[in-house]
Structure 1
């Protein structure tokens, strides 16, 4: 069905855009991908309400401390509602983390993202995310990348 293919293309594009933001530590550029009132599960808090809180309580503890973040989008899974205004995207990712003494380690994980939009054909916006590392993967990484562009003072 061509309509569903178009929806999946836009979901894939959402994940690709987030990947670039994570790789470049671009918090500002990531904001349009997420609803202001998003709700998340994450590594560092049980529930986080709102994009701003998620950025400060989750993303800022991770994005600048990892390298080589990449979704496995050839294996992207999607569920799309009948009205095509809500979808779920599920993807596995890989990244490189760093121990306190600077040794690199594989940092694989997965994410479930609930996406919404007001009209068919519009870009998807995340309403909820649940990102987790695979069992046995250290939850903290100690790498140091700079935010781009830097946050305003």
Structure 2
């Protein structure tokens, strides 16, 4: 496994820990201010504050056991860009 792929897996571990701990501030440190995101609650949100308010705060508090299935993750890295396709597990 390349160092770059390991860094992406470390990022996923940090993010799923923030979700499990309902730690929005820690989660925010993992994203750029101009993030574009979506999820179960919101179809499309532009900007970190909108992502936190419109998705995370509606989901994280009612989700238990969130974790990515890293052994099934598909990860690609090219320079300073990475992509991830990974299933996850959670309840709630």
Structure 1 gap ranges (5+): 98-153
1:25 corresponding residue in structure 2: 22
2:89 corresponding residue in structure 1: 94
Aligned-residue Cα RMSD (Å) equals: 1.2
Q: Secondary structure at the match of 1:87?
A: strand
- On the 8 A contact 2:20/2:60 being kept in 1, the answer is yes
Structure with the higher strand share, 1 or 2: 1
From 19, 44, 49, the equivalent of 2:46 is 49
Cα distance per residue 1:72-100 (max 9 Å; x no partner): 1111111222xx21010111101111xxx
From 6, 10, 22, the equivalent of 2:7 is 10
TM-score (norm 2): 0.93
Q: Secondary structure at the match of 1:37?
A: coil
State the number of aligned residues: 92
Cα deviation for residue 51 of structure 1 reads 0.6
From 40, 61, 65, the equivalent of 1:64 is 61
Structure 2 gap ranges (5+): none
Structure with the higher helix share, 1 or 2: 2
From 72, 76, 83, the equivalent of 1:79 is 76
Q: Stretches of 4+ moved more than 6 A in 1? A: none
